[in-house]
A and B are shown apart, each in its own frame.
Chain A
């Protein structure tokens, strides 16, 4: 059974209808001791089905060690959103509620190659000398 309702699927399809470049949704999961892994994996797959530009990949957090290390995944459920290359965008936890809106936004950004940031913001980011790790905490409601 589908998690995303049919009526929502139509709305999401419209939201991501204009995708130009390929998008990969890479989900890290495991069977046991992960309350929301299964649900997250299903949502990711269902979203990927809504656009011919999007594909979903699934890796096991325990056994696919090489992928876990290369994407620097430290907790699950984790989903990497990438276009032609990995730009460091990760979603941890089940993408529902506001996080789902952000997920669609991330998909649009990596597909279009347009972050939507102001020019001044891009200039400031260009001045960074060391890595910047942003963690945005959200809740489903």
Chain B
């Protein structure tokens, strides 16, 4: 997604190395995706579903 849009940035964060972020975002299991601090997604989500959530919330 970051590759496709100049408005998107994507960080892969190793949770155990950044415990303050893991605590801040309540990362109990991985993967966990945080989008703009607003959308928290637990687990791996299929592309279609993720895009739908993004469309609903951010477009």
Contact = CB atoms under 8 A, between A and B. Distances in A.
Given A94-B17, A127-B59, A133-B36, A115 B4 contact: yes
B14 to A, nearest CB: 3
Chain B interface size range: 35 or more
A128 B13 contact: no
At the interface, is chain B mostly helix, strand, loop or mixed?
Answer: mixed
B39 to A, nearest CB: 9
A11 interface: no
Contact of B1 (A125, A127, A135): A125
A59 interface: no
Interface stretch (A1-9, A19-27, A49-57, A84-92): A84-92
A132 B54 contact: yes
B4 A91 contact: no
Contacts of B3: 87, 89, 109-110, 113, 115
Interface string A119-141: 01110111111111111111110
Interface residues of A, number: 42
A51 B3 CA distance: 21
Interface string B26-59: 0100111111100000000001100100110011
Interface of A: 35-36, 75, 77, 87-95, 99, 102-103, 109-110, 113, 115, 117-118, 120-122, 124-140
Q: What 9 pairs across the A-B complex have the smallest Cβ distances?
A: A93-B14, A88-B9, A93-B17, A125-B5, A127-B59, A88-B2, A115-B3, A137-B15, A135-B34
